[in-house]
Chain A
Amino acid sequence: MSNGYLVVASQKESFYRLAINCLESLKDYYPDAKCCLVTEERFLDGRESIADDLIFCGDHYREKLWGMSQSPYDTTMYIDADCEIVHEDIATVFDELNGNDMVFHTLPKEGKPIFVMYDFTCEGKPEQFTYCGGVCLYTNKEFMFDWYVLYLKQFSKIWKPDIQPWDKLYYFDQTTLWWLLNKDFRHKDIKVGTFKDNLRWNYYNGYAELKMFPKQEVIINHWSKGSPK
């Protein structure tokens, strides 16, 4: 069984730079880590050699979903390109799987002020986004491919569930993820877990502003707010 890390950078060169920084930081703290970079060929500048595996993708903003489905590893830790590894415990991430098919970072309620979207309605019923796709430990690549395909349908407005406010949610991959995990019968048996000490594994820079800290030291910093994209 192979374990590895995967980062995707598409559409903008700035994502490629962020992805390189992310992978280099991974190797700073875990030199033996196997990692894969999914990116566009036009961005390559020699620094991609940091990756053990290289996969070329298209130029869509959400190539991340396709990239996740193409992972060369049995168990993959997907990390958003605008993340940075800051602790050697990154090597222990695969212990977090605990028999699940997927493990996510959960969005804590107290972090609502910094989230793009948290509350929404489905068929008139109030719902919340609980899982964040910023990092994801997974074994189920078929699910990732379904996520990608349904997202494309959602984005191109071929598929439109009764979810509101739709004008703000149709381009959001979290909308698709929520649907697949909660409404799609094909994935009813999928086992989803969450990271222990949740904030350690995906520490948004906005959490510090809200004085939200993990119990132990942060492992992954997520610079989603204010990083040059």
Chain B
Amino acid sequence: MWGLIEHRYKMRNWDKDAFWETPRKAVLNCISEREDGNKKIRQVHKLTEEDPLFKQCVDALGEEHIDENTKRRVNIKFEEQKKRQELEESKIKAKQLEQLFNYKLKTFEVEEIKLSQNRELKSKLRRAKSIPEVNLWAIKIMDDYLNSE
């Protein structure tokens, strides 16, 4: 038992990428490396203030360094999330445009619209930016066609 505890507090090297997991600096996420015979052991920790390794790591890296690293990490994560969100929005927008295109194609197959020779109104329908706008131009084309019959 004592041997194990002694083993746990052997001198370690701390990876410089340590960061605070909470704004109050109550949990420290860090990686240590230590030699054990001819083996090198790399270990990931989530340390609370009560853990003696917490102080060992803060003393080794310096609180200011961990603060800076945490700030940099938060910014990277924020940028990543922003990019993911933008990509998701682009996908939704692209899907909506695809649906709008298919809706226009279907609308052009309505008999009265298919037979209409009014190129100006048909062009307006093709340029419509939304489904309600497509419907509006579809009604105008049908109206124009029925009145010209």
Enumerate chain A interface residues (CB-CB to B < 8 A). Answer: 17-18, 20-21, 24-25, 27-28, 45-47, 84, 205-206, 208-211, 221, 223, 225-228
Interface segment among B25-33, B55-63, B118-126: the answer is: B118-126
Determine the distance from Cα of A221 to Cα of B114 in the docked complex, in whole angstroms: 22
Q: Does the CB pair A208–B105 fall under 8 Å?
A: no
State the total of A-B contacts with C-beta under 8 angstroms: 55
Interface of B, helix, strand, loop or mixed by DSSP: helix
Choose from B94, B95, B108, B126 the contact partner of A28 (Cβ within 8 Å). B126
Asked if A205 meets B105 with Cβ closer than 8 Å, knowing A24-B122, A46-B115, A211-B87, the reply is no
Note all chain B residues with C-beta closer than 8 A to A21.
104-105, 108, 126
Taking the complex as formed, is B75 at the interface, i.e. its CB lies under 8 A from any CB of chain A?
no
Task: Give 5 closest A-B pairs by Cβ, nearest first.
Answer: A208-B94, A28-B123, A226-B98, A209-B94, A209-B91
How far is it, in angstroms, between the C-alpha of A228 and the C-alpha of B102 when the chains are bound? 7
B90 interfacial by beta-carbon distance below 8 Å: yes
- Inside 8 A of A226's CB, which chain B residues have their CB? 95, 98, 102
- CA distance in complex: A221, B87 (Å): 20
- A12 to nearest B CB, angstroms? 13
CB distance from B101 to the nearest CB of A (A): 5
Cα-based distance from A223 to B126 in the complex (angstroms): 14
